[in-house]
Amino acid sequence: MSLLVVGLSHRSAPVSVLERAALSLDAQIKLLQDTVAAEPAAEAAVLATCNRIELYADVDKFHAGVAELSTLLAQHSGVGLDELTPYLYVHYEDRAVHHLFSVACGLDSMVVGEGQILGQIKDSLARAQELHTAGRLLNDLFQQGLRVGKRAHSETGIDRAGQSLVTFGLEQFTAGADVESWARGKRAVVIGAGSMSSLAAATLARAGVGEIVIANRTYDRAERLAQILMETGETDVVARAVPMDSVPAELTRADVAVSCTGATGLVLTAEMVAAAVEGRVPQGAPAGPESRTGTRAEGGTALPPTSIGSDDDCPLDLPAVQGGGFSVLGEAAVAGMDAATLEQHAAWVDNATVDRRASRRTPEREALRTPVADAELIAALVAAVAVTGRIPELRRPEPVVEVPRPAPVLALLDLAMPRDIDAAAHRLAGVRLVDIESLAEVSADAPMASDVDMVRRIVSDEVAAFGAAQRAAHITPTVVALRAMAADVVASEIARLEGRLPALDDKHRGEITQTVRRVVDKLLHAPTVRVKQLAAEPGGAGYADALRTLFDLDQETVAAVSRAEDSRTSENDAENRGRS
């Protein structure tokens, strides 16, 4: 069997796809059950967070495993396989181990070094254990991943390379100030009572907010979280729980709201947010960041219309005069025209229908043309235009007057996937919305600390150690079966000896039995120790097969040993869950 992971994350897929592919708790459970029921997989675990969905499995066939896991992900996420496939990544064997360890250390997180992923990995393992979909391999993998993540945070400064997603999100509201200064004395609403919402509530409490309101669909959980915040004694925050239908009213008094629920639809619509800030934003404020005015010049004077009348039936050659970006009634249209054409154009502007071009442009008239006559015609044109309206100037882009938005009165942090808060809320005056997508954009260029290199070395060392341990563990059932076979041979020979020497007393029988066992143990010691060492090295998996072949070991006996060890592992896991 071999480790395989198929998934997608913020690094491989746009937020819109991640949002649609998000798995509810029920969908995760069904996915695990269907995965272990499929032919290629013997174990399965799902790691589903706000910015990643990964399916881990122990499979016996690589290509069949990839096809089956990809299909199951598509089915349970509701995104078509053809649409999902371009965003999927696949890791196998050591690369799969390396990937999980990197995730556990925060190297693959949206904010490098964030530590809340460890809790999510722990939850994923507990869920797989409860459903009995995690066997020896995934138990060892996830437990080792948790140890690697803790080691990275304790032995390096990876925490300095980034911060929790909650803190990073709150920093987007502070305009360069620290979160504590920004949050001090504010009123906060936290929607949800899960791990992320609890982290948000605790972060806000430590930052110094004056009041936190917890809303959750299960009121008891909200009340429990509020009680924990009040009982810690680390802060002076006032926390209380409210039902979900009280959120709109609480928002009208809130300065900041954080939402992270498992809802499949919007929790806060743009209309709800607009109602919450109504009356708190100065009158006449622009509706959003896109609201600009282009009808006034820099001095604030209103500009006249840029056209008068219609271009229909204009006597000028429109394509020739419009190419430079001028109005057909502008100065470029009349520059260089002969007097007859100008006069006809003036008549058209004055809504006249007389075509004077043919009558005026005769050889006799052309001979009588003088600069003075042309000047008179142009003066007549100017007079006509003065009656009908002003000749527009060159159509240059008008200066845009930037109207500053009012300072936000409500900061919204949406950490849910799919999103809880309507994206249209960011266009409302007095509202600042930060969600997973905007966090991904601002964190893409975040500097990485030098400690990241140390964490990468830790990950590499741990991957090698895990691989060696797994390869050694792979041969253990074979070694156990070999020693069991040797013990059966000793017992059989001692029984034959007793048949041949029935008068043998117990003392001598015991000495002979002990001697034979020591001989067998010494003969097997060096080969079994050496084969474990060789099996721990890359490419050492074949030594187990060689051992079975050389000693003609029964495959079913080896399998029985493996099942017995897996059973003991499951019992230990259940015991550990009970203690926790």
The residues annotated as belonging to the active site are 50
Dist CA 387 CA 309 (whole Å): 13
Does residue 70 contact residue 81 with C-beta atoms inside 8 Å? yes
CA distances to 488, 508, 513, 562 from 494, in Å: 10, 12, 7, 29
Write out 69-113 in H/E/C secondary structure.
Answer: HHHHHHHHHCCCHHHHHHHCEEEECHHHHHHHHHHHHCCCCCCCC
Owner of token pair 């030594």: 543
**How far apart (Å, rounded) are the C-alpha atoms in residues 51 and 96?**
18
> Following DSSP, what letter does each residue of 517-569 receive, concatenated?
HHHHHHHHHHHHHHHHHHHHSTTTTHHHHHHHHHTT--HHHHHHHHHHHHHHH
**DSSP 8-state assignment for residue 384:** H
Cα distances from 164 to residues 152, 159, 257, in angstroms, run: 15, 9, 17
- Name the token pair of 325: 């970006």
Helices vs. strands in the chain: H and E counts, helices first: 25, 10
Residue 333's nearest CA partner among 346, 343, 349, 322 is 322
Alpha carbons 180 and 265: distance in angstroms, whole number: 32
3-state helix/strand/coil string of 393-448: CCCCCCCCECCCCCCCCEEEEECCCCCCECHHHHHCCCEEEEEHHHHHHHHCCCCC
- Is residue 430 within 8 A of residue 285, CB to CB? The reply is yes
Residue 497 CB coordination number (10 Å): 15
Nearest to 558 by CA among 472, 485, 467: 485
Cα gap 496→492, rounded to integer Å: 6
Please give the helix or strand (H or E) that residue 459 lies within, else none.
helix 451-500
Say which amino acid occupies 493.
E
Which is it for strands 431-435 and 410-414: parallel, antiparallel or unpaired? parallel
Number of Cβ within 10 Å of residue 415's Cβ equals 25
* CA distances from residue 204 to 120, 375, 412, 455, 526 in whole angstroms, order as listed: 21, 78, 13, 29, 61
Q: In Å, how far are 143, 360, 384 from 212, measured between CA atoms?
A: 35, 86, 71
Residue 198 identity: S
Counting Cβ atoms within 10 Å, is residue 157 exposed (0-12), middle (13-18) or buried (19+)?
middle
